[in-house]
Amino acid sequence: MNTQDTDCQRRVHGQVKWFDPSKGFGFVIADLGGPDILLHANVLRNFGQGSVVDGSMIEILVQDTQRGLQATQVLAITPPKSDAAVPLRDMVEFTAEDIANRPIEPSRVKWFDKAKGFGFANVFGSDEDVFIHVEVLRRSGLSDLQSGEAVGLRLVDGERGRMAIEVIGWEIAAK
């Protein structure tokens, strides 16, 4: 197993098998095999995210408990490569560097419906709606957003108004 001891904890590289924010947990599969590792929502929140998209690569610290392996700390998350055949039209012209150079705007989620594939947020100090597409959420490494959740958004002016081109967990954005 790809591990490193840290006071009875081990560093593990793996992949998110699934994570359900409404249940408050999910599981990680270690790169080198072994039992599934429990990933609790509180551990993910301590990293600065309320959710994580299935298939993301993850680096965590784990420890053995009476119930099995559990993640105690998230060290890094890399979202899976997008499998969308057609990129969002408003995003085609932007490289990863272009996106990273845009300012992070502190925002609050108005609502997000995963089944519909979109939602809206408001930048603090403005009541103008900002569109958030589920594909942008996935590319940002998130699987869902909750109403009222604070996030950082990188924005573009799309065909139908302002839209998020990247969504960042608030704790990460505030650093």
Q: What's the rounded mean pLDDT across residues 68-83? A: 86
Rounded to an integer, what distance in angstroms lies between the CA atom of residue 36 and that of residue 110? 34
**pLDDT score recorded for residue 105:** 93
**pLDDT score recorded for residue 89:** 56
On average, the pLDDT of the chain sits at 85
Given a cut of 60, whether residue 88 has pLDDT beyond it is no
Given a cut of 60, whether residue 90 has pLDDT beyond it is no
Tell me, which fold does domain 89-173 have in CATH? OB fold (Dihydrolipoamide Acetyltransferase, E2P) (2.40.50)
Read off the pLDDT band of 38 (50, 70, 90): very high
Read out DSSP for 118-159?
A: EEEEEETT---EEEEEHHHHHHTT-S---TT-EEEEEEEEET
State pTM to two decimals: 0.64
Read off the pLDDT band of 97 (50, 70, 90): confident
Given a cut of 90, whether residue 10 has pLDDT beyond it is yes
Rounded to an integer, what distance in angstroms lies between the CA atom of residue 111 and that of residue 114? 10
The percentage of the chain sitting over the pLDDT mark of 70, rounded to a whole number, equals 87
Contacts of 33 (CB under 8 A, 6+ apart): 1
Spell out a b/e string for 72-111, using b for 16 or more CB atoms within 10 Å of the CB, else e. Answer: bebeebebeeeeeeeebebbeebeeeeeeeeebbebebbe
Q: 5-78: which CATH architecture?
A: Beta Barrel (2.40)
Residue ranges, comma separated, of all CATH 2.40.50.140 domains in the chain are: 5-78, 89-173
Q: Please write the tens of the pLDDT for every residue from 134-148.
A: 888 888 888 889 899
Given a cut of 70, whether residue 46 has pLDDT beyond it is yes
Rounded to an integer, what distance in angstroms lies between the CA atom of residue 91 and that of residue 135? 11
Distances 69 to 29, 115, 157, 175 between C-alpha atoms, Å: 11, 32, 45, 30
